[in-house]
Copies of this chain bind each other. A is one copy, B any other.
Amino acid sequence: MTKFYTIKEIAKLAEVSTGTVDRVLHKRGKVSPDKADRVEAILKKIDYKPNQLARSLKLNKRYRFVILLPDDELDEYWKPCFAGVEELKSNFEANGMLVDVLKYSPHSPDNFVEMAQKSMDLSPDAVLLGALFLKESREYLQKLEGKGIPFNLINTEVEGVNFSTFVGQNLVQSGRTAAHLFDTILPQVKSVLVLHMEEEFENAIHMQQKEIGFQAYFSERNRTTNIQTLNIKTSNPESIADQINRGISDKVDGIFVTTSKAFLLGENGIDLGVPVIGYDLLEKNIHYLKSGKIKFLIYQNPRLQAFQGLSLLSEQVMKKTQNPMEVFLPIEIISSENVSSYRS
């Protein structure tokens, strides 16, 4: 039955005024040693904890958080992120914080720069960023850093910026996970095809890291597994089927698609009759997962990324503990049977 002491009560106990107690609490000085001691003693004894409500009410500082993410209308992948943000938003606002959500076109660096500027205009206390364009993002983040505005990155790390916190997946490890899945579902893994399928290869680093993990899994086991790698540019006028047929030299036992574009195989009628493992719970991917064309999807849980990213950010801002770190989220394995338990 914890009793909550107030400053007034402490003042009475110590036979001083509330002002003096306050000065002791905040180490503002200007208080005689004997009174200071009296107050300190009481504080220690009762383990005083200030009433945060009254505190924030008085200070009346409204922290403003700006969320800057790619438009989910233009890239479905980001939709759950906004869900995660919304989930926290009302809670934040109930505690007197402001949350502004900004979207930029995933196809236009210019638009990103524009929205980044807009975010600066809001003079935020903290920023949550889902970066796509590395150069432009870096410039933006350095500007934030210059102003001492803390930020968190989700989904994609940006090299060359300090004091950032990252929330996302360990991509190398997710590549290993895919490799192990093939190793488990196939009687023998003689030859696998790694498919990097993307509109543009700006974000190639993602795919590379996944491939590194994938390769490492087999090489650590001294397997003679033949791993063919193929870059498919989906914006290429040559049909995807042609690109693949031209590209593969060998019969393959499985296909590892390192992007969220695994559904393109099914959509283009490409069926080598071997298991496919891909990424992300896009509608179309889920469709082919259920029909069996895709065996497993690895889920990067964008919703959780946003949720965690924002939670962490608020902690950093409130406690002024600028402790940069990396938070790696679970690598979630999705099959046709557990997919329903993952709400987007």
Contacts and interface: CB of A to CB of B under 8 A. Distances in A.
Interface of A: 1-2, 4, 49, 51-54, 56-57, 62, 93-96, 98, 122, 169-170, 173-174, 176-177, 179-181, 184-185, 187, 217, 295, 318, 328-338, 340-342
Given A53-B57, A57-B57, A328-B341, A335 B170 contact: no
Question: Which secondary structure characterizes the binding site on chain A?
Answer: mixed
Contact of A52 (B95, B184, B340): B95
Contacts of A122: 1
Of A51, A122, A295, chain B has the most CB atoms within 10 Å of the CB of A51
Across the A-B interface, give the 3 residue pairs with the lowest CB-CB distance, nearest first.
A180-B337, A331-B338, A333-B333
Contacts of A57: 51, 53-54, 57
Given A180-B335, A184-B185, A330-B332, A340 B173 contact: yes
Contacts of A187: 187
A94 B52 contact: yes
Contacts of A54: 57
Given A53-B53, A98-B2, A331 B341 contact: yes
Contacts of A185: 184-185
Contacts of A95: 52-53, 95
B179 A337 contact: yes
Contacts of A330: 332, 338, 341-342
A287 to B, nearest CB: 17
B51 A96 contact: yes
Contacts of A93: 49
B337 A173 contact: yes
B52 A176 contact: no
B176 A217 contact: no
Nearest to A318: B94
A303 to B, nearest CB: 11
Most buried by B among A185, A217, A341, A342: A341
26 contacts: A4-B62, A51-B96, A52-B94, A52-B96, A53-B53, A54-B57, A95-B95, A170-B341, A173-B337, A176-B337, A177-B335, A177-B337, A177-B338, A179-B337, A180-B335, A185-B185, A187-B187, A217-B337, A328-B341, A329-B341, A330-B332, A330-B341, A331-B338, A331-B341, A332-B338, A333-B334
A62 B1 CA distance: 12
